[in-house]
Amino acid sequence: MSVLNIVLIEPQIPQNTGNIARTCAATGARLHLVGPLGFEITDAKLKRAGLDYWRLLDITTYESTPEFFSRNPRGEFYYFTTKARRTYTDIAYPDDAYLVFGREDAGLPEELLRANPDRCVRLPMIAGARSLNLSNTVAVAAYETLRQWGFPALQNHGKLTKYDWDAVPL
């Protein structure tokens, strides 16, 4: 089964990471937190943003970027950055893809981007906009990848609480 990996390198804002954790929990994506972090995992703001989804989360932490790459040597990495020349929809994401995101205030290191130009992607924005919120960017990227994969293992229909959908004409 395909597994989506969301990688946050040095995240600084606990609320963003909490929101991303909730997205990962709801989609079955694995969350990789690469330090140093700008907060403690026990931070109340982080836990509040993730609500009661922590029990559904597959999370791994790393002390540093070199440790992350050494523990995941076979990954297919895609680097999300405002500096990329390609858009995120230009990519056909493979099974077990790693979507990598940088710090909210600085993004990913340019050395990493320069070494992987064909794996750098961006979300289009109007001129003059610096960037989208990190948690929004992760959600867009995750759902595009999952859409390409046909939303494996995700529930693709909802249920009304007071009515039966089958009784409602389309």
Q: Binding site for S-adenosyl-L-methionine: which residues?
A: 102, 123, 131
Virtual CA dihedral for 130, 147, 58, 21, nearest 10 degrees? 30
147 closest CA partner among 137, 134, 156: 156
Binding site membership: which residues? Answer: 102, 123, 131
Question: What sign does the CA torsion over 153, 3, 107, 12 have?
Answer: positive
Q: How many CB atoms lie within 10 A of CB 16?
A: 24
Contacting residues for 167 by C-beta, under 8 A, at least 6 apart: none
